[in-house]
Homo-oligomer: A and B are copies of this chain.
Amino acid sequence: MALNNPTPLGPWKITVYDQENFQGKRLEFTSACQNIMECSVDNIRSLKVECGAWAGYEHSSFCGQQFVLERGEYPHWESWSGSNAYHIERMMSFRPICSAQNHKESKMVLFERENFMGRQWEINDDYPSLQAMGWGNNEIGSMQVQSGAWVCYQFPGYRGYQYIMECDRHGGEYKHYREWGSHAQSFQVQSLRRIQQ
């Protein structure tokens, strides 16, 4: 089930519901689900992450908008979607994220231009505003994840589209926004942070 996923190192557990506010049909998972409809559920309308970090997706087979899901309670679509431009209100697949065992060991290199070109900056911390920390503009050309898992956001303060970047996928290399996810439409990234277990 875990498409291209390395063997999970830690325990993961997520409980999903087909109605808002943790009502309706309830299903527990400890590994990836490629299509919730195969479990006779038409859509996920609330969820609780009980262990680990997960990536949720708008469409089946881990496509469309991405949602980072960390431990806690999400009673409706808006609670995990972030502030996005389109409100499709669907979550059809999800999978565990292998973040760093210790998130302080997470490391990533940002590049000004695509294909790892231009000015570069190695980071190992959370940045609610990349511009406040010295990055010159509101775009990142490409990224190389050297350790752990990261989530990048379109707007400052961890808002807007979420792009999940992992050292265990694509060899950690994200050369162009087309590799950030099928929902990515531009190079715009204004905040980013490490994903913690």
Chain A residues in the interface with B (C-beta under 8 A): 49, 68-74, 78-85, 126, 128-133, 138, 151, 154-160, 190-191, 193, 195-197
Contacts and interface: CB of A to CB of B under 8 A. Distances in A.
Which of A126, A130, A157 is the most central at the interface, judged by chain B CB atoms within 10 Å of its CB?
A157
A157 B69 contact: yes
Contact of A71 (B73, B80, B83, B156): B156
A176 B197 CA distance: 30
B70 A157 contact: yes
A76 B135 CA distance: 22
Nearest to A51: B132
A138 B72 contact: yes
Nearest to A125: B126
Chain copies in the assembled complex:
2
B74 A155 contact: yes
A129 B196 contact: yes
A99 to B, nearest CB: 11
Nearest to A130: B72
Contact of A196 (B68, B132, B151, B195): B132
A157 B84 contact: no
Given A126-B126, A132-B196, A78 B70 contact: no
B156 A74 contact: yes
Contacts of A156: 49, 69-74
Contacts of A151: 157
Contacts of A128: 70, 193, 195-196
Contact of A155 (B79, B154, B157, B191): B79
A74 B191 CA distance: 12
B157 A80 contact: yes
